[in-house]
Amino acid sequence: MSRLRKNPLAQKELAIYPFVFDWKLVKDNLELDKIFNNNNDFYLEIGMGKGDFIIEHALLSPPKNFLGIEKFQTVQLIAAKKITNLIPNLDNLKLVSADVSDFLPEIKNNLIAGIYLNFSDPWPKIRHAKRRLMDLSFLTQYNRILKSGGFIEFKTDQLSLFEFALEQINLSKQFNLVKIDYDLHQKQAQEIIKTEYEKKFLADNIKINFLKIEKI
Ligand SMILES: C[S@@+](CC[C@H](N)C(=O)[O-])C[C@H]1O[C@@H](n2cnc3c(N)ncnc32)[C@H](O)[C@@H]1O
């Protein structure tokens, strides 16, 4: 998949969008639980990329609130432009520019109803395993910020990453596995909200692995 060239002006350009928050600049003053001005449920997508998945969720599911986290501002800028073109009323969708490792420790306990991790970077080398977003250390933080009964949905084309995720979930003992599918689109492609990567993998007939876990 082609790499997007880094746009050195992305940070400046993102600053004009009122629904985008640069975590390094706002974290000391922003109360995340008040960001939506309502008490409706709150969902995170971590590594939202160019935003197709979270935008479609937000459009289909008000009054639920959606927060997209992305570390590359060049990519997030594409999402911000799409949102501005598609959704006149942005009440239930906001974006945060952050590496999730900086973001998670600042989040209150029991705040989030669900977390989506779609096609997270695989970090195939063993020495980089701790960076995988389904590593036990991340699962422990997700568990802390999830509400009782809150869920994580994880999709990947990488079978070895999927098996790693299952192993880590097992080790964590903090979640129930409620759904697992080694070929998500085999029967039900129509109803599934797809990400940019997912659309490309489907076009190339690559199988998508999916799991859903719930906080115990
Ligand atoms: C392979 S892309 C998938 C993008 C999108 N979810 C999709 O399925 O089309 C992974 C995305 O996660 C972002 N990402 C990876 N690690 C991250 C981290 N630690 N914090 C925030 N975003 C991260 C990357 O910048 C990239 O945009």
**Structural domain of 64:** 10-107
- CB distance 147 to 111 below 8 Å: yes
Place of tokens 């197709």: 52
Position 175 in a domain: no
Position 77 in a domain: yes
Position 97 in a domain: yes
What local confidence, expressed as pLDDT, does residue 98 receive? 97
What local confidence, expressed as pLDDT, does residue 189 receive? 55
Could you give the number of structural domains in the chain?
1
Specify whether 41 is catalytic: no
Catalytic residue selected from 33, 102, 121, 183: 121
Q: From the CA of 68, how far away is ligand 1's center (Å)? A: 10
Q: From the CA of 70, how far away is ligand 1's center (Å)? A: 6
Q: What is the pLDDT of residues 131-166, one digit of tens each?
A: 999 999 999 999 999 999 999 999 999 999 999 999
SS3 113: strand
Q: From the CA of 120, how far away is ligand 1's center (Å)? A: 6
Residue 71 burial (CB count, 10 A): 18
Mutate to test the pocket of ligand 1, among 1, 2, 120 (most ligand atoms within 8 A of CB): 120
SS3 41: coil
Q: What is the pLDDT of residues 7-62, one digit of tens each?
A: 889 999 999 999 999 999 999 999 888 899 899 999 999 999 999 999 999 999 98
Q: From the CA of 170, how far away is ligand 1's center (Å)? A: 24
Position 101 in a domain: yes
What local confidence, expressed as pLDDT, does residue 190 receive? 62
Residue list, ligand 1 pocket, CB within 6 Å: 46-49, 69-72, 75, 99-101, 118-121, 195-198
What local confidence, expressed as pLDDT, does residue 59 receive? 94
How sure is the predictor about 121, in pLDDT bands with cuts at 50, 70 and 90? very high
Position 64 in a domain: yes
* CATH code of 69's domain: 3.40.50.150
Q: What is the pLDDT of residues 171-209, one digit of tens each?
A: 999 999 999 999 999 976 568 999 999 999 999 999 999
Position 189 in a domain: no
Give the mean pLDDT of 119-141: 98
What local confidence, expressed as pLDDT, does residue 88 receive? 72
Q: How far apart are CA 134 and CA 165, in angstroms?
A: 5
Which whole-number Å values give the CA distances from 132 to 5, 13, 46, 103, 159, in the listed order? 23, 29, 12, 16, 14
Give the residue whose CA is nearest to atom 3 of ligand 1: 119
The pTM of this model reads 0.96
